[in-house]
A and B are shown apart, each in its own frame.
Chain A
Protein backbone atom coordinates (compact mmCIF):
# COMPACT_ATOMS: atom_id res chain seq x y z
CA UNK A 1 0.00 0.00 0.00
CA UNK A 2 1.25 3.45 -0.80
CA UNK A 3 -1.08 5.76 1.06
CA UNK A 4 -3.82 6.03 3.66
CA UNK A 5 -5.85 8.85 5.14
CA UNK A 6 -4.71 9.78 8.63
CA UNK A 7 -8.31 9.53 9.85
CA UNK A 8 -8.43 5.81 8.93
CA UNK A 9 -5.32 4.85 10.85
CA UNK A 10 -6.00 2.79 13.97
CA UNK A 11 -2.63 1.18 14.54
CA UNK A 12 0.78 2.75 14.08
CA UNK A 13 3.72 0.38 14.44
CA UNK A 14 7.25 1.58 15.02
CA UNK A 15 9.61 -1.19 13.92
CA UNK A 16 13.30 -1.86 14.35
CA UNK A 17 15.54 -4.89 14.04
CA UNK A 18 15.04 -6.28 17.52
CA UNK A 19 11.92 -4.40 18.56
CA UNK A 20 13.63 -3.69 21.88
CA UNK A 21 15.70 -0.54 21.51
CA UNK A 22 15.19 2.32 19.09
CA UNK A 23 11.59 1.40 18.22
CA UNK A 24 10.61 1.41 21.89
CA UNK A 25 12.12 4.85 22.30
CA UNK A 26 10.31 6.36 19.32
CA UNK A 27 7.04 4.55 20.07
CA UNK A 28 7.09 6.03 23.57
CA UNK A 29 7.46 9.54 22.19
CA UNK A 30 4.73 9.05 19.58
CA UNK A 31 2.34 7.50 22.11
CA UNK A 32 2.58 10.72 24.12
CA UNK A 33 2.11 12.89 21.04
CA UNK A 34 -0.88 10.88 19.80
CA UNK A 35 -2.58 10.53 23.19
CA UNK A 36 -5.57 12.56 22.05
CA UNK A 37 -6.17 10.44 18.91
CA UNK A 38 -7.72 6.96 18.63
CA UNK A 39 -4.43 5.64 17.20
CA UNK A 40 -2.70 2.78 19.04
CA UNK A 41 1.08 2.99 18.92
CA UNK A 42 3.06 -0.25 19.22
CA UNK A 43 6.68 -1.31 18.73
CA UNK A 44 7.70 -4.59 17.16
CA UNK A 45 10.67 -6.34 15.55
CA UNK A 46 10.63 -6.08 11.76
CA UNK A 47 10.20 -9.84 11.47
CA UNK A 48 7.04 -9.71 13.58
CA UNK A 49 4.97 -6.71 12.48
CA UNK A 50 1.31 -7.51 13.24
CA UNK A 51 -0.99 -7.90 10.24
CA UNK A 52 -3.40 -5.20 11.42
CA UNK A 53 -0.81 -2.44 11.33
CA UNK A 54 -2.03 0.48 9.21
CA UNK A 55 1.17 2.48 9.16
CA UNK A 56 4.72 1.28 9.87
CA UNK A 57 7.45 3.74 10.75
CA UNK A 58 11.06 2.62 10.57
CA UNK A 59 14.52 3.87 9.72
CA UNK A 60 15.11 4.23 5.98
CA UNK A 61 17.78 1.56 5.99
CA UNK A 62 15.19 -0.95 7.19
CA UNK A 63 12.23 0.25 5.12
CA UNK A 64 12.76 -2.34 2.39
CA UNK A 65 12.47 -5.13 4.89
CA UNK A 66 9.46 -3.55 6.56
CA UNK A 67 7.52 -3.35 3.32
CA UNK A 68 8.16 -7.05 2.71
CA UNK A 69 7.20 -7.95 6.25
CA UNK A 70 4.02 -5.84 6.22
CA UNK A 71 2.68 -5.74 2.66
CA UNK A 72 -0.70 -4.47 3.87
CA UNK A 73 0.64 -1.42 5.67
CA UNK A 74 1.87 1.97 4.56
CA UNK A 75 5.59 2.03 5.31
CA UNK A 76 7.16 5.39 6.07
CA UNK A 77 10.93 5.52 6.32
CA UNK A 78 12.66 8.23 8.31
CA UNK A 79 16.28 9.19 8.62
CA UNK A 80 16.83 10.53 12.13
CA UNK A 81 15.48 9.10 15.34
CA UNK A 82 15.09 12.59 16.77
CA UNK A 83 13.19 15.39 15.10
CA UNK A 84 12.83 13.84 11.65
CA UNK A 85 10.42 15.76 9.38
CA UNK A 86 8.97 12.52 7.97
CA UNK A 87 7.91 11.48 11.46
CA UNK A 88 6.45 14.90 12.27
CA UNK A 89 4.47 14.75 9.00
CA UNK A 90 2.94 11.42 9.99
CA UNK A 91 2.04 12.73 13.44
CA UNK A 92 0.40 15.81 11.91
CA UNK A 93 -1.55 13.66 9.44
CA UNK A 94 -2.81 11.39 12.20
CA UNK A 95 -3.92 14.33 14.29
CA UNK A 96 -5.56 16.32 11.51
CA UNK A 97 -6.65 13.57 9.12
CA UNK A 98 -4.33 14.37 6.21
CA UNK A 99 -2.90 11.74 3.89
CA UNK A 100 -0.02 9.48 5.01
CA UNK A 101 2.12 8.55 2.03
CA UNK A 102 4.42 5.55 2.03
CA UNK A 103 8.06 5.98 1.07
CA UNK A 104 8.64 2.46 -0.20
CA UNK A 105 7.20 0.60 -3.18
CA UNK A 106 4.19 1.71 -5.19
Chain B
Protein backbone atom coordinates (compact mmCIF):
# COMPACT_ATOMS: atom_id res chain seq x y z
CA UNK B 1 0.00 0.00 0.00
CA UNK B 2 2.99 2.29 0.35
CA UNK B 3 2.68 3.48 -3.20
CA UNK B 4 -0.98 4.26 -2.85
CA UNK B 5 -0.41 6.10 0.40
CA UNK B 6 2.19 8.31 -1.23
CA UNK B 7 -0.56 9.55 -3.47
CA UNK B 8 -3.09 9.95 -0.69
CA UNK B 9 -3.77 13.36 0.77
CA UNK B 10 -4.44 13.41 4.52
CA UNK B 11 -8.06 12.61 5.18
CA UNK B 12 -9.79 15.83 6.12
CA UNK B 13 -13.41 14.92 6.58
CA UNK B 14 -15.62 17.70 7.79
CA UNK B 15 -19.12 17.69 9.17
CA UNK B 16 -19.99 20.31 6.57
CA UNK B 17 -19.19 18.02 3.67
CA UNK B 18 -21.28 15.28 5.25
CA UNK B 19 -24.21 17.67 5.66
CA UNK B 20 -24.06 18.85 2.07
CA UNK B 21 -23.82 15.25 0.90
CA UNK B 22 -26.78 14.26 3.01
CA UNK B 23 -28.95 17.09 1.72
CA UNK B 24 -27.95 16.22 -1.82
CA UNK B 25 -28.68 12.61 -1.02
CA UNK B 26 -32.26 13.49 -0.17
CA UNK B 27 -32.73 15.44 -3.41
CA UNK B 28 -31.26 12.65 -5.51
CA UNK B 29 -33.09 10.06 -3.43
CA UNK B 30 -36.42 11.47 -4.58
CA UNK B 31 -35.46 11.30 -8.24
CA UNK B 32 -33.23 8.26 -8.66
CA UNK B 33 -35.75 5.54 -7.75
CA UNK B 34 -37.91 6.98 -10.56
CA UNK B 35 -35.27 7.13 -13.27
CA UNK B 36 -36.94 4.33 -15.18
CA UNK B 37 -40.03 6.51 -15.59
CA UNK B 38 -37.86 9.35 -16.89
CA UNK B 39 -36.27 6.97 -19.38
CA UNK B 40 -39.69 5.69 -20.47
CA UNK B 41 -40.77 9.28 -21.05
CA UNK B 42 -37.54 10.07 -22.92
CA UNK B 43 -37.92 7.08 -25.19
CA UNK B 44 -41.58 7.85 -25.94
CA UNK B 45 -40.60 11.43 -26.71
CA UNK B 46 -37.69 10.45 -28.95
CA UNK B 47 -39.86 8.01 -30.89
CA UNK B 48 -43.20 9.71 -31.35
CA UNK B 49 -42.78 13.50 -31.45
CA UNK B 50 -43.07 15.10 -34.92
CA UNK B 51 -39.32 14.95 -35.67
CA UNK B 52 -38.77 11.66 -33.81
CA UNK B 53 -37.93 8.21 -35.19
CA UNK B 54 -41.56 7.12 -35.66
CA UNK B 55 -43.72 10.25 -35.60
CA UNK B 56 -47.16 9.30 -34.38
CA UNK B 57 -49.75 11.79 -33.23
CA UNK B 58 -51.85 9.29 -31.39
CA UNK B 59 -48.95 8.14 -29.21
CA UNK B 60 -47.32 11.56 -28.87
CA UNK B 61 -50.18 12.62 -26.59
CA UNK B 62 -48.40 10.58 -23.90
CA UNK B 63 -45.51 13.02 -23.79
CA UNK B 64 -47.05 16.03 -22.08
CA UNK B 65 -49.08 14.43 -19.28
CA UNK B 66 -46.17 12.14 -18.44
CA UNK B 67 -43.70 14.93 -17.91
CA UNK B 68 -46.11 17.43 -16.40
CA UNK B 69 -48.10 15.14 -14.13
CA UNK B 70 -46.74 11.62 -13.75
CA UNK B 71 -43.05 12.40 -13.19
CA UNK B 72 -43.53 15.20 -10.61
CA UNK B 73 -46.08 13.09 -8.76
CA UNK B 74 -43.64 10.17 -8.64
CA UNK B 75 -41.06 12.51 -7.14
CA UNK B 76 -43.54 13.89 -4.61
CA UNK B 77 -44.61 10.34 -3.77
CA UNK B 78 -41.03 9.18 -3.24
CA UNK B 79 -40.17 12.32 -1.26
CA UNK B 80 -43.16 11.70 0.99
CA UNK B 81 -42.15 8.09 1.46
CA UNK B 82 -38.70 9.14 2.66
CA UNK B 83 -40.31 11.17 5.44
CA UNK B 84 -43.26 9.04 6.53
CA UNK B 85 -43.34 5.74 4.62
CA UNK B 86 -46.47 4.67 2.74
CA UNK B 87 -48.80 7.20 4.34
CA UNK B 88 -46.31 9.96 3.66
CA UNK B 89 -45.97 8.79 0.07
CA UNK B 90 -49.71 9.03 -0.54
CA UNK B 91 -50.11 12.56 0.84
CA UNK B 92 -46.90 13.58 -0.92
CA UNK B 93 -48.45 12.54 -4.23
CA UNK B 94 -51.70 14.35 -3.44
CA UNK B 95 -49.86 17.53 -2.46
CA UNK B 96 -47.91 17.38 -5.71
CA UNK B 97 -51.00 17.36 -7.88
CA UNK B 98 -51.74 20.76 -6.33
CA UNK B 99 -48.60 22.28 -7.76
CA UNK B 100 -48.48 20.56 -11.15
CA UNK B 101 -52.00 21.59 -12.12
CA UNK B 102 -51.98 24.74 -14.16
CA UNK B 103 -48.21 24.92 -14.49
CA UNK B 104 -46.66 25.21 -17.91
CA UNK B 105 -43.22 24.06 -16.81
CA UNK B 106 -42.69 20.61 -15.26
CA UNK B 107 -42.64 21.19 -11.49
CA UNK B 108 -39.84 18.99 -10.22
CA UNK B 109 -38.39 21.32 -7.62
CA UNK B 110 -41.88 22.04 -6.36
CA UNK B 111 -42.53 18.31 -6.02
CA UNK B 112 -39.29 17.93 -4.06
CA UNK B 113 -40.67 20.41 -1.53
CA UNK B 114 -44.39 19.65 -1.52
CA UNK B 115 -44.04 15.86 -1.20
CA UNK B 116 -41.82 15.77 1.90
CA UNK B 117 -43.64 18.75 3.42
CA UNK B 118 -47.05 17.10 3.21
CA UNK B 119 -45.61 13.88 4.61
CA UNK B 120 -44.04 15.81 7.47
CA UNK B 121 -47.36 17.47 8.29
CA UNK B 122 -49.05 14.08 8.38
CA UNK B 123 -46.27 12.77 10.60
CA UNK B 124 -46.96 15.58 13.08
CA UNK B 125 -50.70 14.86 12.95
CA UNK B 126 -50.10 11.14 13.43
CA UNK B 127 -47.94 11.87 16.44
CA UNK B 128 -50.85 13.70 18.06
CA UNK B 129 -53.54 11.15 17.24
CA UNK B 130 -51.66 7.88 17.72
CA UNK B 131 -52.27 7.50 21.47
CA UNK B 132 -55.75 8.96 21.47
CA UNK B 133 -57.60 6.68 19.06
CA UNK B 134 -60.19 4.41 20.63
CA UNK B 135 -60.05 0.75 19.58
CA UNK B 136 -61.91 0.13 16.38
CA UNK B 137 -61.52 3.67 15.06
CA UNK B 138 -57.94 3.34 13.82
CA UNK B 139 -58.78 2.92 10.17
CA UNK B 140 -61.36 5.67 10.18
CA UNK B 141 -59.02 8.16 11.84
CA UNK B 142 -55.95 7.15 9.82
CA UNK B 143 -57.72 7.46 6.49
CA UNK B 144 -59.37 10.74 7.27
CA UNK B 145 -56.35 12.47 8.84
CA UNK B 146 -54.32 11.56 5.75
CA UNK B 147 -57.20 12.56 3.50
CA UNK B 148 -57.52 15.94 5.17
CA UNK B 149 -53.76 16.58 5.14
CA UNK B 150 -53.69 15.61 1.46
CA UNK B 151 -56.60 17.89 0.59
CA UNK B 152 -55.16 20.81 2.54
CA UNK B 153 -51.70 20.48 1.05
CA UNK B 154 -53.08 20.12 -2.47
CA UNK B 155 -55.02 23.36 -2.00
CA UNK B 156 -51.91 24.97 -0.51
CA UNK B 157 -50.06 23.76 -3.57
CA UNK B 158 -52.42 25.46 -5.97
CA UNK B 159 -52.59 28.70 -4.02
CA UNK B 160 -49.13 29.13 -2.51
CA UNK B 161 -46.35 26.63 -3.25
CA UNK B 162 -47.20 26.38 -6.95
CA UNK B 163 -46.89 30.09 -7.74
CA UNK B 164 -43.69 30.42 -5.68
CA UNK B 165 -42.09 27.40 -7.33
CA UNK B 166 -43.14 28.59 -10.79
CA UNK B 167 -41.25 31.80 -10.15
CA UNK B 168 -38.27 29.84 -8.88
CA UNK B 169 -38.32 27.40 -11.81
CA UNK B 170 -38.62 30.27 -14.28
CA UNK B 171 -35.67 32.06 -12.64
CA UNK B 172 -33.57 28.88 -12.73
CA UNK B 173 -34.52 28.41 -16.37
CA UNK B 174 -33.48 31.99 -17.17
CA UNK B 175 -30.21 31.41 -15.34
CA UNK B 176 -29.51 28.37 -17.48
CA UNK B 177 -30.41 30.09 -20.74
CA UNK B 178 -28.17 33.00 -19.73
CA UNK B 179 -25.28 30.54 -19.33
CA UNK B 180 -26.15 28.91 -22.64
CA UNK B 181 -26.54 32.08 -24.70
CA UNK B 182 -23.37 33.63 -23.27
CA UNK B 183 -21.41 30.43 -23.90
CA UNK B 184 -20.65 30.10 -20.21
CA UNK B 185 -21.87 26.53 -19.85
CA UNK B 186 -18.37 24.98 -20.02
CA UNK B 187 -17.48 26.95 -16.88
CA UNK B 188 -20.00 24.77 -15.07
CA UNK B 189 -17.31 22.08 -15.11
CA UNK B 190 -15.35 24.16 -12.60
CA UNK B 191 -18.04 23.37 -10.07
CA UNK B 192 -19.37 20.07 -11.34
CA UNK B 193 -16.18 18.03 -11.59
CA UNK B 194 -14.74 18.79 -8.10
CA UNK B 195 -18.16 18.34 -6.50
CA UNK B 196 -18.64 15.12 -8.41
CA UNK B 197 -15.59 13.37 -6.97
CA UNK B 198 -16.72 14.42 -3.49
CA UNK B 199 -19.69 12.15 -4.14
CA UNK B 200 -22.10 14.96 -4.90
CA UNK B 201 -22.56 13.50 -8.39
CA UNK B 202 -26.12 12.32 -7.85
CA UNK B 203 -27.13 15.49 -6.04
CA UNK B 204 -25.93 17.62 -8.95
CA UNK B 205 -27.17 15.44 -11.77
CA UNK B 206 -30.48 14.24 -10.39
CA UNK B 207 -31.18 16.98 -7.87
CA UNK B 208 -30.44 19.98 -10.10
CA UNK B 209 -29.42 19.39 -13.71
CA UNK B 210 -31.94 16.64 -14.47
CA UNK B 211 -35.02 18.65 -13.44
CA UNK B 212 -33.72 21.68 -15.38
CA UNK B 213 -33.00 19.45 -18.35
CA UNK B 214 -36.50 18.00 -18.36
CA UNK B 215 -37.94 21.50 -18.56
CA UNK B 216 -35.76 22.19 -21.58
CA UNK B 217 -36.27 18.88 -23.35
CA UNK B 218 -40.03 19.03 -22.80
CA UNK B 219 -39.92 22.08 -25.07
CA UNK B 220 -37.24 21.20 -27.59
CA UNK B 221 -37.03 17.40 -27.46
CA UNK B 222 -33.49 17.31 -26.09
CA UNK B 223 -31.25 18.95 -23.53
CA UNK B 224 -27.53 19.44 -23.10
CA UNK B 225 -28.02 19.74 -19.33
CA UNK B 226 -28.33 15.98 -18.99
CA UNK B 227 -24.76 15.66 -20.26
CA UNK B 228 -22.92 18.17 -18.09
CA UNK B 229 -22.30 15.81 -15.20
CA UNK B 230 -22.96 12.41 -16.71
CA UNK B 231 -20.46 12.45 -19.60
CA UNK B 232 -18.48 9.22 -19.25
CA UNK B 233 -15.57 10.77 -21.17
CA UNK B 234 -13.59 12.59 -18.45
CA UNK B 235 -13.56 9.62 -16.09
CA UNK B 236 -12.48 7.32 -18.89
CA UNK B 237 -9.62 9.65 -19.82
CA UNK B 238 -8.42 9.79 -16.24
CA UNK B 239 -8.51 6.03 -15.85
CA UNK B 240 -6.66 5.62 -19.13
CA UNK B 241 -3.96 7.99 -17.85
CA UNK B 242 -3.68 5.89 -14.68
CA UNK B 243 -3.51 2.70 -16.71
CA UNK B 244 -0.51 3.93 -18.67
CA UNK B 245 1.22 6.32 -16.27
CA UNK B 246 -0.21 5.75 -12.79
CA UNK B 247 1.52 4.10 -9.84
CA UNK B 248 2.38 0.56 -10.87
CA UNK B 249 0.63 -0.99 -7.88
CA UNK B 250 -2.64 0.49 -9.06
CA UNK B 251 -2.46 -0.34 -12.75
CA UNK B 252 -3.80 -3.93 -12.62
CA UNK B 253 -7.16 -2.81 -11.23
CA UNK B 254 -7.67 -0.08 -13.79
CA UNK B 255 -8.98 -2.02 -16.84
CA UNK B 256 -11.88 -3.44 -14.83
CA UNK B 257 -12.56 0.03 -13.45
CA UNK B 258 -12.65 1.38 -17.02
CA UNK B 259 -15.24 -1.16 -18.08
CA UNK B 260 -17.37 -0.51 -15.02
CA UNK B 261 -17.16 3.25 -15.49
CA UNK B 262 -17.54 3.63 -19.26
CA UNK B 263 -19.79 0.69 -20.08
CA UNK B 264 -21.55 0.17 -16.77
CA UNK B 265 -21.84 3.87 -16.02
CA UNK B 266 -20.78 3.61 -12.36
CA UNK B 267 -18.68 6.77 -12.23
CA UNK B 268 -17.95 6.40 -8.51
CA UNK B 269 -15.27 3.93 -9.41
CA UNK B 270 -12.94 6.62 -10.75
CA UNK B 271 -13.47 9.18 -7.96
CA UNK B 272 -10.87 7.54 -5.70
CA UNK B 273 -8.28 7.83 -8.45
CA UNK B 274 -8.86 11.59 -8.47
CA UNK B 275 -9.04 11.89 -4.68
CA UNK B 276 -5.72 10.13 -4.17
CA UNK B 277 -4.01 12.73 -6.34
CA UNK B 278 -6.20 15.82 -6.05
CA UNK B 279 -4.50 17.75 -8.84
CA UNK B 280 -6.10 15.18 -11.18
CA UNK B 281 -9.30 17.15 -10.76
CA UNK B 282 -7.78 19.55 -13.32
CA UNK B 283 -7.91 16.71 -15.83
CA UNK B 284 -11.56 16.14 -14.98
CA UNK B 285 -12.41 19.84 -15.27
CA UNK B 286 -10.62 20.36 -18.57
CA UNK B 287 -12.09 17.19 -20.03
CA UNK B 288 -15.56 18.05 -18.82
CA UNK B 289 -15.36 21.60 -20.17
CA UNK B 290 -13.97 20.41 -23.52
CA UNK B 291 -16.83 17.93 -23.74
CA UNK B 292 -19.40 20.64 -23.06
CA UNK B 293 -17.83 22.94 -25.68
CA UNK B 294 -18.10 20.10 -28.18
CA UNK B 295 -21.70 19.41 -27.22
CA UNK B 296 -22.50 23.12 -27.64
CA UNK B 297 -20.79 23.50 -31.02
CA UNK B 298 -22.50 20.42 -32.40
CA UNK B 299 -25.85 21.26 -30.82
CA UNK B 300 -25.93 17.92 -29.04
CA UNK B 301 -28.46 16.89 -26.43
CA UNK B 302 -30.12 13.83 -24.97
CA UNK B 303 -33.82 13.06 -24.59
CA UNK B 304 -33.66 12.09 -20.90
CA UNK B 305 -31.22 11.69 -18.02
CA UNK B 306 -28.70 9.02 -18.97
CA UNK B 307 -28.58 7.09 -15.74
CA UNK B 308 -26.25 5.43 -15.09
CA UNK B 309 -23.83 7.57 -17.12
CA UNK B 310 -22.83 4.73 -19.41
CA UNK B 311 -21.99 5.07 -23.08
CA UNK B 312 -24.87 2.68 -23.76
CA UNK B 313 -27.32 4.99 -21.94
CA UNK B 314 -25.93 7.85 -24.02
CA UNK B 315 -26.49 6.03 -27.29
CA UNK B 316 -29.96 4.88 -26.27
CA UNK B 317 -31.04 8.41 -25.39
CA UNK B 318 -29.53 10.25 -28.33
CA UNK B 319 -32.25 11.85 -30.44
CA UNK B 320 -32.56 11.10 -34.13
CA UNK B 321 -29.66 12.62 -36.04
CA UNK B 322 -27.70 13.55 -32.93
CA UNK B 323 -25.09 10.82 -32.76
CA UNK B 324 -22.17 12.80 -34.11
CA UNK B 325 -22.32 15.55 -31.50
CA UNK B 326 -22.94 13.19 -28.60
CA UNK B 327 -20.10 10.85 -29.52
CA UNK B 328 -17.76 13.73 -30.37
CA UNK B 329 -18.33 15.29 -26.94
CA UNK B 330 -17.59 12.02 -25.18
CA UNK B 331 -14.46 11.35 -27.23
CA UNK B 332 -13.12 14.90 -26.89
CA UNK B 333 -13.72 14.88 -23.14
CA UNK B 334 -11.91 11.56 -22.79
CA UNK B 335 -9.02 12.73 -24.93
CA UNK B 336 -8.50 16.01 -23.11
CA UNK B 337 -8.76 14.38 -19.69
CA UNK B 338 -6.30 11.74 -20.77
CA UNK B 339 -3.72 14.24 -22.02
CA UNK B 340 -4.00 16.54 -18.99
CA UNK B 341 -4.08 13.57 -16.63
CA UNK B 342 -0.97 12.06 -18.24
CA UNK B 343 0.83 15.39 -17.86
CA UNK B 344 -0.14 15.55 -14.20
CA UNK B 345 1.13 12.02 -13.72
CA UNK B 346 4.40 13.09 -15.36
CA UNK B 347 3.93 10.49 -18.08
CA UNK B 348 4.89 7.80 -15.60
CA UNK B 349 7.91 9.61 -14.16
CA UNK B 350 6.26 9.72 -10.73
CA UNK B 351 5.74 5.99 -10.76
CA UNK B 352 9.37 5.38 -11.68
CA UNK B 353 10.58 7.75 -8.95
CA UNK B 354 8.65 5.81 -6.37
CA UNK B 355 10.22 2.57 -7.39
CA UNK B 356 13.59 4.18 -6.69
CA UNK B 357 12.54 5.13 -3.17
Is B268 touching A21 in the complex (CB atoms < 8 A)? yes
Which one, A46, A59, A65, contacts B271 given CB within 8 A?
Answer: A59
A59 touching B268 in the complex, CB below 8 Å, given contacts A17-B202, A20-B32, A64-B18: yes
Does B101 interact with chain A (Cβ within 8 Å)?
Answer: no
User: In the complex, A83 Cα to B257 Cα: how many Å?
Assistant: 11
Is B29 touching A47 in the complex (CB atoms < 8 A)? yes
Q: Residues of A contacting B21 with CB < 8 Å? A: 17, 46, 62, 65
Q: Residues of B contacting A46 with CB < 8 Å? A: 21-22, 25
A82 touching B257 in the complex, CB below 8 Å, given contacts A20-B32, A68-B18: yes
B1-60 contacts to A, CB under 8 A, are 1, 4, 8, 11, 13-15, 17-18, 21-22, 24-26, 28-29, 32-33
Does B276 interact with chain A (Cβ within 8 Å)?
Answer: yes
Q: Residues of A contacting B33 with CB < 8 Å? A: 20
User: In the complex, A18 Cα to B203 Cα: how many Å?
Assistant: 9
A51-88 contacts to B, CB under 8 A, are 59-65, 68-69, 79-83, 85
Which one, A18, A48, A63, A69, contacts B28 given CB within 8 A?
Answer: A18
User: In the complex, A63 Cα to B198 Cα: how many Å?
Assistant: 12
Is A64 touching B25 in the complex (CB atoms < 8 A)? no
User: In the complex, A65 Cα to B202 Cα: how many Å?
Assistant: 15
User: In the complex, A85 Cα to B272 Cα: how many Å?
Assistant: 14
In the complex formed, the residue of A with least CB distance to B275 is A61
Shortest CB-to-CB span from B335 to chain A, Å, is 24
Which one, B8, B13, B82, contacts A47 given CB within 8 A?
Answer: B82
A-B interface contact total, Cβ < 8 Å: 88
Q: Residues of B contacting A59 with CB < 8 Å? A: 199, 268, 271-272
Does B269 interact with chain A (Cβ within 8 Å)?
Answer: yes
Mask, B73-84, CB within 8 Å of A = 1, is 000000000100
User: In the complex, A60 Cα to B252 Cα: how many Å?
Assistant: 21
Is A81 touching B199 in the complex (CB atoms < 8 A)? no
Is B199 touching A62 in the complex (CB atoms < 8 A)? yes
Q: Residues of B contacting A45 with CB < 8 Å? A: 25, 29
Binding site for A on B (CB under 8 A): 1, 4, 8, 11, 13-15, 17-18, 21-22, 24-26, 28-29, 32-33, 82, 197-199, 201-203, 252-253, 256-257, 260, 264-266, 268-269, 271-272, 275-276, 308
Q: What are 18 A-B contacts defined by CB distance under 8 Å?
A: A17-B25, A17-B199, A22-B269, A25-B260, A45-B25, A47-B25, A59-B271, A61-B275, A64-B15, A64-B18, A65-B18, A68-B22, A69-B22, A79-B4, A79-B8, A80-B272, A82-B256, A83-B253
Give 14 A-B pairs besides A22-B269, A68-B22 with Cβ atoms closer than 8 angstroms.
Answer: A17-B21, A18-B25, A21-B266, A22-B266, A46-B22, A47-B25, A47-B26, A59-B268, A59-B271, A62-B199, A81-B266, A82-B256, A82-B260, A83-B253
